[in-house]
Amino acid sequence: MKEDFLKYQAQTSLHPLGIEISHAQGSYIYDVQGNAHLDFVAGVSACSLGHCHPAVVAAIQKQAQEYMHVMVYGEYIQSPATEYVKLLQQQLPANLEVTYLVNSGTEAMEGALKLARRYTGRSQIIAAHNAYHGNTMGSLSLMDYEERKAPFRPLIPDVRHIRFNKIDDIELITEKTACVVLETIQGGAGFILPKNDYLKKIGNRCKEVGALLILDEIQPGFGRTGKLFAFEHFDCEPDILVLGKGMASGLPVGAFIASKTIMDTLSDGPKMGHITTFGGNPVIAAASLATLKTLLQTTLIEDTLEKEKLFRDCLKHPKIKEIRGKGLMLALIMETPEIADQLVLEAKEKNLILFWLLFEKRAVRISPPLTISMDEIRKGCRVILDILDRI
Ligand SMILES: Cc1ncc(COP(=O)(O)O)c(C=O)c1O
């Protein structure tokens, strides 16, 4: 299988981790050799309820037996999607009224960018240094990492950058700006939290000049930071909210949400200003609904803060210089990138799944399923400490 994987399946890097999967359940991924790997990554923050959560599996099975794809997005009334967006809206500030369901995080970002340009009639987009919003042309254009952008130019024009958390750069946001796009918590940059009312100040500036604030909650959304959405910690409400990853607990999905007035501009002039075949897919919507109901009916969201505390208490080691992030979105900052590499690779040998961050090379990601138990956290942390003692 490994040979065929390398031969026929397009690769993203020269060194894939290459664990051959048999099945996955709860906090564990099982390989074909019968090893149980404790998962501290959750498919990069996607498997919010762990692997094959019974409520999610049951919802998928039930929906798959009733109907799957019947029509492109937006034409037919399909109860899984409609019920889902209604329940989602009930959890959101009043201005976030209408949800457009799509297939991935980056597609949600593309939709949000189009919406901001269409609604404001302006072209300028402002994003943050070290941001990551996905890999399609629009999302890639938001990045300021030239090495990743250069081979794909020309990208979309009229994108400028501000420094995250540096309020001095606020002057760059003007009457020319269509939108400011920020991750609520910067992910690839090293799990950087906004400080000193940063998001609120940016939101106020956007209001002053008539620009829209787009918050990318693709990673922290759906309970990972101790609130359903991370922006709830920071006294700030976006004009457009962008979601993905943990929304369907492991199925491909994305969404962007705005007021009805803003969103309506996508369905008129031109008609069908954004369309998708599979967005709102009933099976995925059923999984999203089961995920959201489970998050709302359990204490999983508030438990993330207790689990964060346990991680922070357990992971005291001279080689860990800092632990960044919030809830179950944590980054261990090591002394050097080499130590981070060694930790991830040796943990793999000890059946503990860890991973890197995109830009902060000294970081090791810890973003387990929200369903992880306290004992599983202790067990995984012991593996990390043992490895660090030997490095
Ligand atoms: C903050 C953020 N935005 C956007 C994306 C892109 O999402 P997707 O990979 O589903 O396109 C990611 C994925 O890692 C992300 O972390």
Q: For 366-390, what is each residue's pLDDT tens digit? A: 999 999 999 999 999 999 999 999 9
Average of per-residue pLDDT across 39-43: 98
pLDDT at 60: 98
CA of 147 to the centre of ligand 1 (A): 19
Cα→Cα distances 261→83, 256, 265, Å: 21, 14, 7
Q: How many other β-carbons are positioned within 10 Å of the β-carbon of residue 112?
A: 32
Domain ranges in the chain with CATH number 3.90.1150.10: 27-42+299-389
In sequence order, the 6+-apart residues with CB closer than 8 A to the CB of 61 are none
CATH label, 27-42+299-389, candidates 3.90.190.20, 3.40.50.10470, 3.90.1150.10, 3.40.50.720: 3.90.1150.10
Ligand 1 mean position, distance from CA 224 (Å): 15
On the question of pLDDT at 312 being above 90, the answer is yes
Whether the bond into 154 is cis, omega within 30 of 0: yes
pTM: 0.97
Every domain range in the chain assigned CATH 3.40.640.10: 55-297
Mutate to test the pocket of ligand 1, among 133, 141, 225, 253 (most ligand atoms within 8 A of CB): 133
At 185-204, the pLDDT tens digits run: 999 999 999 999 999 999 99
The average confidence (pLDDT) of the chain is 97
Q: Does the pLDDT at position 36 exceed 90? A: yes
Q: Is the distance from CB of 285 to CB of 78 less than 8 angstroms? A: yes
Section 95-116 average pLDDT: 98
Atom from ligand 1 closest to the CA of residue 104: 10
Residue with tokens 């998001």: 199
325-352 tens-digit pLDDT = 999 999 999 999 999 999 999 999 999 9
Helix (H, G, I), strand (E, B) or coil at 24: strand
In this predicted structure, the answer to whether residue 364 has a pLDDT above a threshold of 90 is yes
**Top-level class of domain 55-297:** alpha beta
15: pLDDT strictly greater than 90: no
Pocket test for ligand 1, best of 245, 256, 360 (most atoms within 8 A of CB): 245
Place of tokens 């989602």: 88
What are the tokens at 7? 């031969």
Spacing, Cα 65 to ligand 1 middle (Å): 30
Q: What separation in Å is there between the alpha carbon of 302 and the centre of ligand 1?
A: 24
**For residues 247-272, average pLDDT:** 96
State the distance from the centre of ligand 1 to the C-alpha of 253, rounded, in angstroms: 11
Measured in Å, residue 132 CA sits from the centre of ligand 1 at: 7
Q: Which of 10-14, 157-161, 165-169 has the lowest mean pLDDT?
A: 10-14
pLDDT of residue 269: 85
Q: What is the pLDDT of residue 319?
A: 96
- The per-residue pLDDT for 14 is 86
| Ligand 1, pocket residues at CB < 6 Å | 44, 104-106, 132-134, 183, 187, 216, 218-219, 244
β-strands 329-334, 159-162 pairing? unpaired
The label of the residue with tokens 């009457």 reads 175
